């Protein structure tokens, strides 16, 4: 999906409420929920870290748990990643956007995917992975500073 397609999807999203936006990710349910105040306004399926439990160290393939903050939203459409599977760098591995989280760990965020079949599974190196269309819907309404809670 081209990054420019996000504008077309914005019409599918209700207008902001006066309440602050927040995200709750439940690893055991493979879900990312978007709340405006107490009202849940969207739920998306996600992929999480390959290994269970809370992140303990770099490279442990776990998704961290706790309360975090969105610190930037970066255009990732041209980014590549080598999954060390013998296939080399994959362009578009992060989808169109990378939502960087302040977690205390380098490189943890919410992003899209080149592999939609991974959604709903423990498949990442620690990030939260969404379908690209869901990611675009999320990013169109997501302000910097949004609170993110990641639960077991």
Phi/psi of residue 135, each to 5°? -60, -45
Find out whether 69 and 102 touch, Cβ atoms under 8 Å: yes
Other beta carbons less than 10 A from residue 80's beta carbon:
13
Find out whether 140 and 10 touch, Cβ atoms under 8 Å: yes
Find out whether 27 and 150 touch, Cβ atoms under 8 Å: yes
Find out whether 12 and 6 touch, Cβ atoms under 8 Å: no
Q: What are the residue numbers of the active site?
A: 111, 127
Residue recorded with tokens 């207008």: 15
């Amino acid at each position: 999906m081209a990054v420019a397609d996000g504008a077309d999807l914005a019409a599918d999203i209700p207008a902001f409420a006066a309440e602050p936006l927040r995200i709750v990710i439940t690893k055991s349910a493979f879900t990312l929920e978007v709340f405006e105040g107490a009202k849940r306004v969207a739920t998306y399926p996600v992929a999480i870290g390959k290994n269970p439990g809370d992140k303990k160290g770099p490279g442990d393939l776990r998704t961290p748990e706790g309360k975090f903050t969105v610190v930037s939203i970066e255009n990732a459409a041209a980014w590549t990643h080598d999954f060390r599977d013998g296939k080399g760098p994959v362009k578009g591995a992060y989808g169109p956007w990378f939502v960087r989280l302040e977690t205390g760990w380098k490189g943890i965020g919410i992003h899209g995917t080149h592999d939609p079949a991974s959604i709903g599974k423990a498949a990442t190196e620690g990030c939260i992975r969404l379908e690209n269309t869901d990611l675009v819907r999320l990013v169109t309404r997501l302000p910097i500073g949004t609170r993110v809670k990641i639960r077991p």
